[in-house]
Amino acid sequence: MNFYNLKENDEQVSFAGAVKQGLGKNQGLFFPREIPKFDNIDQLLSMPLVERSVKILHPFVAADLSEKQLTAIVTSAFNFPAQLQPISENRAILELFHGPTLAFKDFGARFMAKCLQAFTTDKQITILTATSGDTGAAVAHAFHGIDNIRVVIMYPKGKISLLQEKMFTTLGSNIETLAVDGTFDDCQALVKQSFNDKELAQTIGLNSANSINISRLLAQICYYFEAVAQLSRQKSIGKLGDIVFSVPSGNFGNLTAGLFAKAMGLPIKRFVAATNANDTVPRYLSTGEWSPNETVATISNAMDVSNPNNWPRVEHMLKSGIVDKDCVTSVSIDEEQTQSTVLQLNKLGYISEPHAAVAYKALQYNTTEDEFGVFLGTAHPAKFKEVVESILGQPLGLPKELADCAGEPILSQDLAADFGLLREYLLAKN
């Protein structure tokens, strides 16, 4: 199957091309030419995660990967579970944080890394990415130790938590980290400048690993199927037609993957796109006006995005009829409600964190009696230890993944927010 550029429709590339290129001409996003539809969903749901995921992904990648290659990739990428935990009679959380960096981004980043590895010949490529936290860790761990792929991660010095920093700056070997004297926006601007410098990009084989890369989204389709598979095995739940997913959203990659799953035939009734105070999408859906405000900082900081880069894909699916145009509603949850929801979930016996709490609260506003709400647990509560401890007034333990890196030295180099210096750095070490 080919993928075409949503802005410049004539540009078409294979899966391998889309993975290697990331973005199309004129910053257009790649989108599959067709979306495969499964008739026998029950049979698909009865399979184990890896086998089922191969069936789901194969039509998208068949031109570039054999079923055998894809099986090897999926087996090593999805080597941790997605777990559905019941919260109450009509609510469950899909825990997506059991991977090496304790966030759902492990699914997409690990799949992308293995695909890129399969498509990379002897010429070295350089992954340059900016992070405010979770992406850096997922990308660093996913690409660690892969030959011929050099990873350079920039982050704003002193502006992320020490544990977050330790998770990706302590690995070494092909993972280089730069503590930039500036903000996250400065880091992103440096990435953009690097991509605009054609000579630099060519010399070091530049690539990015952010969630505009279609491979990350395709991987994420698989856990929506896994959630419904687990639900359908729980005998107490009889009404699969009424499943509603609530997705804590920042760049809207996760929601995009959910819409793909629905378009492929998975019985999901509709989606709630839950945001924090960065409410560009909920305002857009109610007024029809796209008017991003200045980004505001919240305790669900992985969703502090005011201009979500995957929205054109969502919009395309809603407008072209790939999914029903009414199947997405969007709700913004403020800080006070987020905190009180962390407490409320704790009373139900579940320790959550701000992103999942936003999604749970959005469900409470938005579902009817006969709907079953699944909200996505995108990060482990310990990743937001300080906030969760201060809301709950009780200490949280550290899972092994965080405890292991907490004592390791940070290997980052400092860098002024200056493109000339970054360019020198990238070329010197190449």
Ligand X SMILES: *Cc1c(COP(=O)(O)O)cnc(C)c1O
Q: Which CB sits closer to ligand X, 134 or 176?
A: 134
Q: Which CB sits closer to ligand X, 22 or 253?
A: 253
For the CB of residue 193, give the shortest distance to ligand X in the complex, in Å: 23
**What phi and psi, each to the nearest 5 degrees, are found at residue 235?**
-60, -25
Q: Which CB sits closer to ligand X, 63 or 297?
A: 297
For the CB of residue 355, give the shortest distance to ligand X in the complex, in Å: 4
Is 5:30 a contact under the CB 8 Å cutoff?
A: yes
Q: Which CB sits closer to ligand X, 143 or 384?
A: 384
**What phi and psi, each to the nearest 5 degrees, are found at residue 23?**
-110, 150
For the CB of residue 388, give the shortest distance to ligand X in the complex, in Å: 13
Task: Tell how strand 125-130 and strand 206-207 pair up.
Answer: parallel
For the CB of residue 121, give the shortest distance to ligand X in the complex, in Å: 30
Nearest to 81 by CA among 50, 114, 57: 50
**Cα separation, 96 vs 303, whole angstroms:** 16
The label of the residue with tokens 């687990």 reads: 230
For the CB of residue 200, give the shortest distance to ligand X in the complex, in Å: 27
Q: Which CB sits closer to ligand X, 120 or 310?
A: 310
* Distance set, CA 8 to CA 31, 260, 386 (Å): 11, 21, 45
Query: For helices 253-263 and 311-319, what crossing angle results, to 10°?
Result: 30
Q: Which CB sits closer to ligand X, 32 or 354?
A: 354
Is 166:405 a contact under the CB 8 Å cutoff?
A: yes
* Distance set, CA 223 to CA 86, 103, 230, 346 (Å): 16, 13, 10, 25
Residue 25 DSSP SS3: helix
For the CB of residue 144, give the shortest distance to ligand X in the complex, in Å: 19
Footprint of ligand X on this chain (CB under 6 A)? 103, 105, 134, 211, 248-254, 302-303, 355, 378-379
Q: Which CB sits closer to ligand X, 41 or 382?
A: 382
H-run or E-run covering 177: strand 175-181
Q: Which CB sits closer to ligand X, 250 or 282?
A: 250
Output the six-digit token pair for 78.
């999805």
* Distance set, CA 25 to CA 9, 53, 186 (Å): 10, 30, 24
Q: Which CB sits closer to ligand X, 254 or 338?
A: 254
For the CB of residue 63, give the shortest distance to ligand X in the complex, in Å: 26
For the CB of residue 359, give the shortest distance to ligand X in the complex, in Å: 9
Nearest to 338 by CA among 287, 390, 391: 391
Bridge partners for 331 per DSSP: 274
The 8-class DSSP code of residue 250 comes to S
